[in-house]
């Protein structure tokens, strides 16, 4: 999931550098959402490890 967020961020940077601001804004927003989902899942997994609870994703 982190890989997907990085890919969208890179697409956003390239689109912004080429002047496609609409595409850059949209892909930047998608990258932020995917990264936020990644962070939530990471925190849940770490909390599961800390408390000894196994989470089946």
Average pLDDT for residues 20-25, to the nearest whole number?
Answer: 93
Per-residue pLDDT reduced to its tens digit, 33-56: 999 999 999 998 888 888 887 656
How is residue 28 written in tokens?
A: 């930047």
pLDDT of residue 54: 67
Q: Give pTM, 2 decimals.
A: 0.79
- pLDDT greater than 90 at residue 32: yes
* SS3 (DSSP) at 41: helix
- Interior angle at CA 5, CA 9 and CA 7, nearest 5: 55
Note the Cα 53 to chain centre separation in Å: 25
* Calpha distance 28→57 (Å, rounded): 26
């Amino acid at each position: 999931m982190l890989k997907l967020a990085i890919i969208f961020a890179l697409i956003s940077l390239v689109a912004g550098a080429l002047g496609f601001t609409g595409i850059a804004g949209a892909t930047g927003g998608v990258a932020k959402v995917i990264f936020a989902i990644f962070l939530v899942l990471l925190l849940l997994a770490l909390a599961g490890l800390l408390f000894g609870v196994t989470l089946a994703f």
